[in-house]
Each structure stands twice: as structure tokens, then as C-alpha cells.
Amino acid sequence: MTKLLNTSLRGRLDESELLIGVMIEQLVRPVTAKLLAHAGVDFIFLEYEHTFFSPTEMADTILAARDNDLPVIVKTPQLERQEVSKLLESGVNGIQLPRTETREQIAELLDYMRYPPDGTRAVAPGWGASDYAVVPDWRSWMDGQNKEAILVAHIETEKGIENADRIVSASGVGMVYVGMADLSAELGHPGHFDNPKVHGAVEHVLDLCKQHNVPFGTTPIDADAAHEWRRKGARFFLAASEIGLLRSALGTLITTYR
């Protein structure tokens, strides 16, 4: 029997449960996925735009995550059919589009992510998206994939904020992530997530997400900020990276010993 891609992630988002994700930036290994699963992380985010790992390493990590019931979202390096196809066939649960700025970008990505008649995704059953199991009923499996694969709009530019209503309300958007780092730089206040202009832009997107019932998430500057965004309606957080966690733990260890 084959698994339906993304059942756990889609279902939990629909239940308005708070989901905590961790980014893998460089240590793309099956052991990293297993450690994050054991820690209770809700989903992995693979940083494939600013990447220092190979597609083979990434595919192995995705399979390990799937085997541990840990959903994976990957940021496509560009809006291009071949890139999106490779990610989908590796077995990811969601595709995140960096610098989402228009509804037309959403429609193009959705076309690459959906099988006919809803899109133009090429059929490759028996690969990572089906855990390498034989797919006896192609139509049923394709319909399940169309339903479950999540498109994540990544708003991180001034133009994206200006077009936020059309982006959030676009058909097929399953999650909206606001990248505060690049957004703060675009708005002239790099690294100052609490700046009123930056904070106000993020809150504007959050309000639109609540209006259209689309899960909103971001990367808060700390736990206190996370609690405040959660109170306002955030549904998921990209809380840390494996590099950041390792750096923090090592710093604490050395300080404690010295």
C-alpha cells in the first residue's frame, strides 16, 4: 500500500494546530531527519535556494523523513518546471516559492505541481512520492497527490507585500510564510524585525491569511515574539535551523564548562 503524500501535514494544518518546523541548511543527512523526528519537530524545511548540498543528499534525507512520518517542505531555487518536478518526485510534502510576488507565479507553480487535468505534472509512480511502492491505481494516486501536495507562498519583498491580498487569496495556496530577514532588508531596516514598518507589513499579511483562512507562519526573533504571533493567529513557525541549534548548544556547553 502506498502513502498519501502529506496527509499528516495537511490534516494538522486544517485542525489549526500550531506546527513547529526546523530548517536544514547544510547538514543534509538521514540522521538529521531522524534526530528531528525523535525531538518532536512537526516538519522539516529544506533550504534549497541558498544550498550547500547535492540533490542526492537531499533525496536521501527526504526519504528518511518520510520513513519517520516527518513532512518535508522544500524551497525551490527557481520557478522552473524541471526543478519542481525533481522535488516532487523525491517525495516532498510541499513546495515553497521564494520571492512570491504575483498571482501569476502561484498559477504557474500550481500547474507544475498538479497532475492532469488540473496541471501538467509528469506522471512518475513508483518513485519517492510513493515510497518506491508499486501504484496499482494511477488515477486514484494522482488525485491524492493533487489534493495533498502543498504550495507555500513565501512573501519577503515589498512587491509581495503590495500584492499580498491577491497572493493569499489565490487558488491553490496552502500556506503563507513571511520571511522577515529579507523583508526587513527590503523595507530599509535589516535585522530589525520589531521595526514598526516591518512588523506592520507582517501583521498585514497575517490579517489577510485569517480573512482567507490560509495558515500563516514566519520565523520569530525569539520565543516571546512567537507567543505574540501565535496569539494573533500564526499557525506555524520555522523556529530554527540545524546550524543555529548546533551553534547555540555548543556555546552553552563551552560556557558551562569554562
**pTM for the whole structure:** 0.92
CATH of 7-257, one of 2.40.50.140, 3.10.20.90, 3.10.20.30, 3.20.20.60: 3.20.20.60
Asked if residue 251 has pLDDT above 70, the reply is yes
The 10s digit of each residue's pLDDT in 99-125 is 999 999 999 999 999 999 999 998 988
Instruction: Specify the length of the chain in residues.
Output: 258
What are the residue boundaries of the structural domains of the chain, listed by start?
7-257
Task: Please report which helix (H) or strand (E) contains residue 238, including its range.
Answer: strand 236-241
Which residues neighbour 139 within 8 Å (Cβ) at sequence distance 6 or greater? none
C-alpha 102/C-alpha 159 separation (Å) is: 8
Question: Bigger pLDDT: 103 or 5?
Answer: 103
Asked if residue 4 has pLDDT above 60, the reply is no
The predicted structure's pLDDT at residue 11: 79
* C-alpha of 139 from chain center: 26
Q: Are 121 and 85 in contact (CB under 8 A)?
A: yes
The predicted structure's pLDDT at residue 52: 83
CA dist list (Å): 201 to 151, 186, 194: 22, 11, 11
Residue 46, Cβ neighbours under 10 Å: how many?
Answer: 24
Pairing of strands 216-218, 173-178: parallel
The 10s digit of each residue's pLDDT in 147-202 is 889 999 999 999 999 999 999 999 999 999 999 999 999 999 999 998 999 999 99
Average pLDDT, the chain: 92
User: C-alpha cell of 112?
Assistant: 507544475
- Phi and psi at 13, nearest 5°, equal -65, -40
